[in-house]
C-alpha cells in the first residue's frame, strides 16, 4: 500500500505557508479595496504603473478603480489556499491549493492590468494647468 504523505513538500511548510498566504491575500485585498475606492494616491511602490496610468491623476484614479475588483478577486487566490491549508494541513493540500491559487492570482492580475490600462487611456491625458495633484491649492 502506498504511503499517502510522501509528497516532497514537508508538512511544516504547509503550517508556515498557510498563514503567509492568508496574510498576503488579506493585504492584497486591502490594497485592492483602497484602489477600487479611488483612495490610492500615485506613488512609486503600490499600483499599476504604465505610461497610461501615470499620464495624470485622473488616469491613475480611473485605472485603479477599474482594476480594484480584479485585484480583490486575485487576493482570493491567496486567501482561499491559506485558509484551506490552515483548516486541513497536509503537504498535498498545500501544494495543490497553492498552485491553483497562484495561477488564479496571475490570471486576475493580468486582467486587472488590462482593465486599468484601458480605463487610463480613456481618462484625460494630463492634469489641468496649475493643478499638480488633486489636493493642490495653488492660486
Residue 7 has pLDDT above 90, yes or no: no
8 A C-beta contact, residue 108 and residue 77? yes
Number of residues written out for the chain: 139
pLDDT digits (tens, 9 = 90+) for 58-83: 999 999 999 999 999 999 999 998 88
CA gap 71, 14 in Å, rounded? 25
pTM of the predicted model, to two decimals? 0.76
Sorted by sequence, the CB contacts under 8 Å of residue 116 that are 6+ apart come out as 48, 50, 53, 63, 64, 66, 67
Rg of the chain over Cα atoms, rounded to whole angstroms, equals 20
The stretch 107-129 carries a mean pLDDT of 86
Amino acid at each position: 500500500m502506498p504511503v499517502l504523505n510522501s509528497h516532497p513538500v514537508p508538512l511544516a511548510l504547509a503550517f508556515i505557508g498557510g498563514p503567509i498566504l492568508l496574510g498576503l491575500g488579506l493585504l492584497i485585498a486591502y490594497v485592492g479595496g483602497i484602489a477600487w475606492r479611488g483612495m490610492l494616491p500615485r506613488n512609486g511602490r503600490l499600483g499599476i504603473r504604465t505610461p497610461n496610468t501615470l499620464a495624470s491623476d485622473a488616469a491613475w484614479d480611473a485605472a485603479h478603480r477599474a482594476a480594484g475588483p480584479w485585484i480583490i478577486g486575485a487576493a482570493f487566490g491567496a486567501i482561499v489556499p491559506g485558509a484551506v491549508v490552515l483548516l486541513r494541513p497536509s503537504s498535498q493540500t498545500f501544494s495543490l491549493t497553492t498552485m491553483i491559487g497562484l495561477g488564479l492570482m496571475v490570471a486576475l492580475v493580468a486582467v486587472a492590468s488590462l482593465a486599468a490600462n484601458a480605463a487610463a487611456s480613456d481618462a484625460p491625458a494630463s492634469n489641468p494647468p496649475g493643478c499638480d495633484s488633486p489636493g493642490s491649492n495653488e492660486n
